[in-house]
Amino acid sequence: MPFRCQACVTMVTSLQAICESCGGFVRYEESDEQRLVDAVSGDPSAALPTFGADLYMGEGETPLVELDRLDLAPTVYGKLDSLNPTCSFKDRGSALLVSAVTDPETTWKGIVVASTGNTAPSVAAYAARSGTPCAVLVPTGTSLSKLAQVAAHGVPIYTVDGTFSDCFQFAQRVSSDRILNATAVYSANPFVASANRTVAFELVAELGAAPDWVTVPVGAGPLLGGTHAGFAELYEAGIIETLPRMLCVQVDGCHPIVRAIDRDESVRPWSGEIKTEVGAIADPLRGYVADGEETRRAVVESDGTGVALDDDTINEWTHRLAAQEGVYAEPASAASVAAVTADAVNPDDTVVALVTGHGLKEPEGDDIDTASVGDDSEALRTTLLG
Ligand SMILES: *Cc1c(COP(=O)(O)O)cnc(C)c1O
Ligand SMILES: [Zn+2]
């Protein structure tokens, strides 16, 4: 099974997140060129490892739709990963990871997972489907609709009084050779970034070539890193002629990776206050900064760049995407569409924005405008048609 250390290029023999000889991150790489060809010909999972249980629920192969009603100069497509089984892209990694846990060849029997909100319901769903014991750790104050999903799957939820980083460190302390830490970061497990490579395979299958840019909302960044890795494999195999540039999107209130890209220096943890409501892409990386550095490396290797957006801009684009394109995305996902306006993107570029999570995840329940219809049906007719 070709899992390889990305730093010292050693093949690993036992499945682990971190290389025993150098501390680098481990990821699956497809060594069979035919499988890469199959992966861009409508079978993206051809270039994934296979494990015991088939837990398929429709993850991946999400729609690619043109977003041409937003008055953006470049040609922009939205990759609607919000339409995965639990309504976020996290299902790509969860399907592979939970399948690995069920495999008789691996030692894991249970799963612990820290989450900013979307990893938890995703892992919980696949754990339920496979009958694997699972526990979820979330920061106090996480969106109720996301926790309702976890509860529906019968998986226990534990809150941690702190940030996502504190949840992650707790999960690392619980994990062992029998309990897998399924947190969606490179340093916890080798499956998540490996599975996210399928985004690249699907985009090449759908567009017939690589786009100029892919804009990606980033916490620690295994979606960006995995997508870039998929393109790099295709590029090295001569299947695509150009390598797309990755645009790393974070929030003003916490953007350690974008800060490092801008200053051309290594990523440092975000030590200041975290000032944002867009929690899915506000990861301070405290205690696992190497994860952020791995993502920065992918951005630099792709000749990409980063952009940090304020909450008002992200919320405005969330509304525009829903009202003008009909695509209801959670704010963290709309950030990737907002990022298309970045200076580095040229008007004649083709851009894919990864729409990572569904709007129903974070509905604005309290301040929806309604008006009584009264009993004058003619008035409503006039409102509709003038
Ligand atoms: C997890 C998540 C992200 C960030 O992805 P990472 O690769 O884990 O940094 C972005 N958007 C949404 C909706 C997410 O759930
Ligand atoms: Zn190594």
Buried b (16+ CB within 10 A) or exposed e, 204-237: bbbeeebbbbbbbbbbbbbbbbbbbbbbbbbbeb
> Is the C-beta atom of 221 inside 6 A of ligand 1?
yes
Residue 366 has pLDDT above 70, yes or no: no
Per residue in 315-342, pLDDT tens? Answer: 999 999 999 999 999 999 999 999 999 9
Percent over 70 (pLDDT), the chain: 99
CA dist 253 and 170 (Å) reads 24
> Is the C-beta atom of 134 inside 6 A of ligand 1?
no
Percent over 90 (pLDDT), the chain: 85
User: In Å, what is the CA distance from 154 to each residue of 113, 121, 124, 207, 275?
Assistant: 15, 10, 8, 40, 33
Per residue in 197-254, pLDDT tens? Answer: 999 999 999 999 999 999 999 999 999 999 999 999 999 999 999 999 999 999 999 9
Atom of ligand 1 nearest to the CA of 283: 9
The whole-chain average pLDDT of the chain stands at 95
Residue 174 has pLDDT above 70, yes or no: yes
* Rounded distance from Cα 18 to ligand 2 centre (Å): 8
Residue 53: predicted pLDDT: 86
* Rounded distance from Cα 371 to ligand 1 centre (Å): 36
CA dist 224 and 230 (Å) reads 10
Of 228, 238, 241, 196, nearest to 301 (Cα)? 228
Q: Could you tell me the pTM of the whole model?
A: 0.96
Q: What token pair was written down for 136?
A: 């979820």
For range 136-152, the mean pLDDT: 85
> Is the C-beta atom of 357 inside 6 A of ligand 1?
yes
For residues 278 and 314, is the Cβ–Cβ distance under 8 A? Answer: yes
Residue 212: predicted pLDDT: 98
> Is the C-beta atom of 220 inside 6 A of ligand 1?
yes
Of 181, 92, 79, nearest to 134 (Cα)? 181
